[in-house]
Amino acid sequence: MSNRFIHPFNILVGLLLIIEGGLYIFMTNKGEQFHLRSIIMSCLLLLAWGMSYRKQIKDENRNAWVIVTIIIMIPMILPWLFFI
């Protein structure tokens, strides 16, 4: 895979993770409850995405790490499927 795909794809995934994490945390924050699970899950997804992005840049086997990034996106997409 070329850098022309890897960088825009990962920037888009990172922005979506931040937006989705923020929306999910603030939408579930009803009644002044502190949703620690939502915050931890968002942080773990961002950490996993960052590690995958770094491996895509540094490692020789970029295709495998792009697949890992796509797998990381699954928990990001699943909560929204229940609202459809």
Whether this prediction's pTM lies above 0.95 is answered by: no
Q: How far apart are CA 39 and CA 24, in angstroms?
A: 9
- How far is residue 81 from each of residues 34, 45, 54, 67, 71, measured CA to CA in Å? 24, 18, 29, 21, 16
Q: What is the pLDDT of residue 17?
A: 85
Per-residue confidence in pLDDT tens, the chain, 84 aa = 677 888 898 898 889 888 887 777 777 666 666 677 778 888 888 898 889 889 888 877 888 888 888 888 887 777 666 654
Q: What is the pLDDT of residue 58?
A: 87
